[in-house]
Structure 1
Amino acid sequence: MSNESSSMIDITDDPNLWNRFFMVHALLVIGSQEKDKSYNLAPKHMAMPLGFGPYFGFMGTPRKTTYRNIKREEVFTVSFPQPDQLVQTSMAASPREEDDSKPVVDAIPTVKAQEIEGKFMENSYLQLECVLHDIMGKFGEWEMIVGEIVAAYVHEDALRKEGEDADDNKLVDESPLLAYLHPDRFSTIKKSNNFPLPKDFKR
């Protein structure tokens, strides 16, 4: 129900609901192996840890090669790029050639995964190796691809310390984070503050 005195605008029936405002997401790159044993890299933003255990998920659709690769090979990698890797991340979104190849991926520096068959973006600050746990859905044409993390690596410059030596503010300032502002912008996060959690808060 609308309220004439409200500053809120009803966009319930807008077919482009999620494009009518900006929303902050992590920007990451999913790696998967093609049928010909080459590798694909694809940037994603609808992705997140699932709970506080070793599970990570992202949205995919059967019309995309990433989905089909992971369903077939049952493994994938996750690379969290640093801000200076924005152009490489954008390159990974390039369309395929008429023969379904994606040669632009060869121009992106990569490193091999250790526990599964896959590749990461070189110098990404967080790297996850995942085996397929489940494909859940549907949400329209989209499904949630869930992986179980079997190996995880964080760049030494991005590793949080614990105890008295911890300085999270300095860490974020010196190792900034790359964010995607859906639908079409990005930001580099260098400033942060402690969240004002209530006293004795427990998750």
Structure 2
Amino acid sequence: MSKFADIKGFVFDLDGVIADTSVYHSQAWHQLADELGVAWSEELADNLKGVSRMDSLNLILKTGGKENDYTEAEKVAYAAKKNTNYLNLLKGMDKTAILPGIEDFLADLAKHGYRLSLASASKNSPLVLEQLGLAHYFEARVDPATLKHGKPDPEIFARGAEVLGLKPEECAGVEDAKVGIQSINGAGETSIGIGDPAILTGADVNFTSTSELTLANLKAALA
């Protein structure tokens, strides 16, 4: 964990930190499950969170007892259809989807000369930032297509510092998931957890809500 004065950049996760896009993923999977004749439930929705696209599709098919009903090519086509559904839903996204306090925090960071990058595993993250009107705050982003390992591997957050030209110890990573905190810590960056501290036990600093994420609060926590 670095001292507050040593931090020059912030590396952000997207979902659950800047905006809650999981609701759009859930709606898109729900649409596809309906088409496949698989009953949708809250339990199924929860089981899909943080799971890759193909694994999510396989889980839906397994839930409906249809895991052997489709060829690999058909599965790829259905996964692509889900992504099309998702992108169409994203077009309705606006600033109201930004989590509490985040836009003010980003503006404050920019005002004080901090450099920002995005470390999201989602290939759709540039579109999300544009829809939210926040893209101009981020000078760089990690291209998930270039990554060899997913979280909790530190690769994505290490790259988040690299694309800013900063050392890991000069960066703080912001995450809402336990595997994300592990990734930040593994990269040698200061970890800021958003959510339940009982779950995000490895975080250097923890805030239960994005509304608590301010430079003043960080300075107090990292003094």
Q: TM-score, normalised by structure 1?
A: 0.24
- Give the number of the structure whose residues are more often helix, by fraction: 2
| Greater length-normalized contact order (CA 8 Å, ≥ 6 residues apart) | 2
Q: Higher strand fraction: Structure 1 or Structure 2?
A: 1
**TM score, norm. by length of structure 2:** 0.22
